[in-house]
Amino acid sequence: MKLFIQAAIGSIAIHVLYFVSILIIGYIKTLNYTPDIESSWNSVDPLQNEVAFGMTGSPFFFVFTFIGVTLFCEALIVLYRKVKEVQG
């Protein structure tokens, strides 16, 4: 059970790192955005009246990635313990 908890904590850490990096990348892109007003006069398109931030998708995707990364972390922990046992 301790192995699974360690792997789940590793999976949570990886997912948090992923979401924080996505937010930071989006923030940096927003800060550095400069609209090209001059070329936008050539093609006039109707503007959207709604803006959405984030992504849409199935919430089960995150459950499956959490389980998959947990199993991967568990395999890495087991491999690390076996290598450590052989060396020492």
The ranges assigned to domains in the chain are 2-33+58-87
Q: Give tens-digit pLDDT for 35-78.
A: 877 776 776 667 667 766 666 778 888 899 999 999 999 999 99
State the pLDDT at residue 47.
Answer: 67
**Axis-axis angle for helices 2-31, 59-87 (nearest 10):** 120
Return the H-helix or E-strand segment holding 19.
Answer: helix 2-31
The reply to whether the predicted model has a pTM over 0.75 is: no
